[in-house]
Amino acid sequence: MHRKQGLNGDFHNLLNLDSLVDIVSNNVGILVILAVFMAMFSLLEKNEQVISKTQSTENIEKLKIPWSHVSQKNILLIFLRSDRLLYLDRTLVYQRLKKYLSGSNPLPTNISLDQYSIELTAGGGHAHCLEFFPSPGAGQWWHQVSQHNGLMQTLMKKYPTEENYFFFWVDPDSFDLFREIRKSLWEKRFEVGWKPVRIESPLRYCSGDDQTKRFQPQ
């Protein structure tokens, strides 16, 4: 009789132990599943943060803030008027003036070139001012300038980015054209400065540190 009760007790204990093992196993399984899901969610969240950060970085890299700054590079002057582009070549002007420097003749105050004339004002030492007067209809249309052998392509090949930058006088009718040109120059790593002007505004360039600050690139 006692032996039977002992067997029954052992049997019940085994059942209780099996039940306990089942419960523990189920709980452990649930915890493992939860841990897996939490790890997956954490990984997805981390990936989303990385992607978001990368996209933000890409957006920042594409945004160019045009801050003006001092430059020691050579300046290339261009006038945009009525969607026409006119290169105002200072080097050509100085070549015209060079023959007067070694002679006894005084420097001329007016110089006529192909598509514009220049009024020269000499200051102390080597200081001077050049005021440009474009001829009516002077300059080229953008589709002419942007061709493979056009003016802009020629200038970009002739003047390296490490030593030169472009500065534009832009009339109210040529802002869209200027943005397009500036974009193409930025893609070539050129610095670009500009100033809005009206038709009657003087196109005046003066040498000297104080004067050239008005022609800073961005």
Confidence of residue 106 (pLDDT cuts 50, 70, 90): confident
Domain boundaries, the chain: 1-63, 74-215
Write the burial class of residue 80 (CB in 10 Å: 0-12 exposed, 13-18 middle, 19+ buried). Answer: buried
The span from the CA of 105 to the CA of 96, in Å, is 13
Min mean pLDDT across 92-96, 123-127, 184-188, 196-200 is at 123-127
| pLDDT of 57 strictly over 90 | no
Confidence of residue 3 (pLDDT cuts 50, 70, 90): very low
Is residue 217 a contact partner of residue 68, using CB atoms and an 8 Å limit?
yes
| pLDDT of 2 strictly over 50 | no
Q: 163-218 pLDDT, tens per residue?
A: 999 999 999 999 999 999 999 999 999 999 999 998 788 899 988 756 566 777 76
CA dihedral 68, 72, 76, 77 (to 10 degrees): 50
Q: What is residue 98's predicted lDDT score, i.e. its pLDDT?
A: 82
Instruction: Count the Cβ atoms, other than its own, within 10 Å of residue 213.
Output: 10
Write the burial class of residue 217 (CB in 10 Å: 0-12 exposed, 13-18 middle, 19+ buried). Answer: buried
Q: What is residue 174's predicted lDDT score, i.e. its pLDDT?
A: 92
Average pLDDT over residues 89-112: 83
Q: 5-45 pLDDT, tens per residue?
A: 444 555 455 445 555 555 656 666 666 676 665 666 566 56
Its pTM surpasses 0.75:
no
Q: 64-81 pLDDT, tens per residue?
A: 555 566 677 899 999 999
Q: What is residue 95's predicted lDDT score, i.e. its pLDDT?
A: 87
Residue 124, C-beta contacts closer than 8 angstroms, at least 6 positions apart: none
Q: What is residue 216's predicted lDDT score, i.e. its pLDDT?
A: 77
Q: Give first-to-last CA distance, the chain, whole Å.
A: 104
Provide the residue type at 121 as one letter. T
